[in-house]
Homo-oligomer: A and B are copies of this chain.
Amino acid sequence: MKSLDPNQIRLQFPILNREVNGKPLIYLDHAASAQKPLAVIEAQREYLSHYHSNVHRGVHALSNQATEAFESARRSVSASINAEFVEEVIWVAGATDGINLIAQSWGRDNIKQGDVVLITEMEHHANIVPWQMLVKACGARLEAVGVTDDGVLDKTDFQNKLKLQPKLVALTHVSNTLGTINDVKFWADEAHAAGSIVLIDGSQAMPHMDVDVQALGCDFYVFSGHKAYGPTGIGVLYGKRQLLEEMSPWRGGGEMIDVVSLKHGTTFAGLPYKFEAGTPHISGAIALGVALNWIQGIGKGAMQDHENTLTAQARRGLGQIEGLRLIGNAPNSSSVVSFVVDDVHPYDIGTLLDSQGIAVRTGHHCTQPLMERFGVVGTVRASFGAYNTLQEVDALVSGTQRAIRMLKG
């Protein structure tokens, strides 16, 4: 495996040349959204400048060119997650949109009064609220697997809750707040043994590690493009073909129909179009395909190695700061580091880091139940991508020290 030179990679990210507050930008907010390589930016510009057209059904050359590129992007996605069939890849607006699609289509078809839907305490709101809304509408019940002090799923609790025979287990692959990598293959097997359907929220996994939906054995897998070096407004819902075929459509409109008749009713298109009503986000899909190919070119293995090095150094450096407590200490974790400091508000640290040019995120990171679990109002979260360097990690550590000195001193 080739190792990765972040300084080479940085050259491809125009935003990393800029300053904020008079300091060179140090972008450590990758988990909120990744910055974009030139290849992605240019793919979108190129599309809009040279072959934009509405896709499908067009007789003209532009429309065919756009359609080819759009469908070829679907094939890139399919390859990058090793889907069995390309029509298992559904374009959605993002992970949130994808989870809502499952909740409102598969969920409304399958969740009945008294049924259990099982999530975990470390889910992002995107993987909580749609299920709260669903169980409320259906008279079902939502259960959540607990998290240990280290930020790992509580194995006993999980196994006990599987005994409730949940209809669905919806689980994040990687926690956006703790960095914890869940053993989703193991849990998918356990959940299947309990008769559940398994949805994996891959938002924080797709940008960082190999994802093979067949090997994981999950039924659904979702992720957002913008976290995987792709553009905003586009994401992917993978579903096993048979499940998708059985599901009712969610959004109605053009593209997703076969025959529309006011007298005889409407019949729907086959996969993947049944779930893709309306003009799709064509430029977004094409550029997401480019982003995934770009990741492939660098190699997820090399990325993960590099990011692990950064994360380890950050954990080491921050861990030595007095009064600082890391939130999330899973043995198997990704490039996210969350922390709190005694008697200091995360917002203050975030503000002072920002004034040193260092962009981190503070707050609940859309995981309020997890904040409650750890008894904190929020955390400071630094998260890393392929373009971050050890020097930037060092700046984070010393910047945090300086901030704390100012705040406590």
Residues of A within 8 A of B (CB): 14-15, 18, 20-21, 25, 27, 29, 32-33, 35-36, 40-41, 44-45, 48-54, 57-63, 93-97, 99-100, 103-104, 121, 124-126, 128-133, 142, 144, 224, 226, 231-234, 249-257, 259-262, 265-266, 277-284, 347, 350-351, 353-354, 358-363, 366, 368-369, 372
Q: Are A281 and B281 in contact (CB under 8 A)?
A: yes
Measured in the bound complex, the distance between the Cα atoms of B136 and A130 in whole Å is 23
Please report whether the interface of chain A is mostly helix, strand, loop or mixed according to DSSP: mixed
Q: Are B253 and A359 in contact (CB under 8 A)?
A: no
Measured in the bound complex, the distance between the Cα atoms of B129 and A259 in whole Å is 11
Q: Are A359 and B62 in contact (CB under 8 A)?
A: yes
Q: Are B249 and A133 in contact (CB under 8 A)?
A: yes
Which of A95, A104, A277 has the most B CB atoms < 10 Å from its CB? Answer: A277
- Whose C-beta in chain B lies nearest to the C-beta of A134? B252
Q: Are B50 and A14 in contact (CB under 8 A)?
A: yes
Q: Are B277 and A96 in contact (CB under 8 A)?
A: yes
Q: Knowing A20-B60, A233-B233, A359-B61 touch, does A253 contact B50 (C-beta < 8 A)?
A: no
Measured in the bound complex, the distance between the Cα atoms of B353 and A366 in whole Å is 52
Q: Are A368 and B259 in contact (CB under 8 A)?
A: yes
Measured in the bound complex, the distance between the Cα atoms of B373 and A260 in whole Å is 13
Instruction: Choose among B27, B45, B262 the residue that contacts A45 (Cβ–Cβ < 8 A).
Output: B45
Instruction: Choose among B20, B96, B266, B362 the residue that contacts A279 (Cβ–Cβ < 8 A).
Output: B96
Q: Are A279 and B232 in contact (CB under 8 A)?
A: yes
Subset of 27 A-B contacts with CB under 8 Å: A15-B51, A18-B50, A25-B62, A29-B54, A29-B62, A41-B48, A44-B45, A45-B45, A57-B363, A58-B359, A93-B97, A96-B253, A96-B254, A100-B253, A104-B104, A124-B253, A125-B257, A126-B253, A132-B252, A132-B265, A232-B279, A232-B280, A234-B281, A253-B366, A261-B372, A262-B369, A281-B281
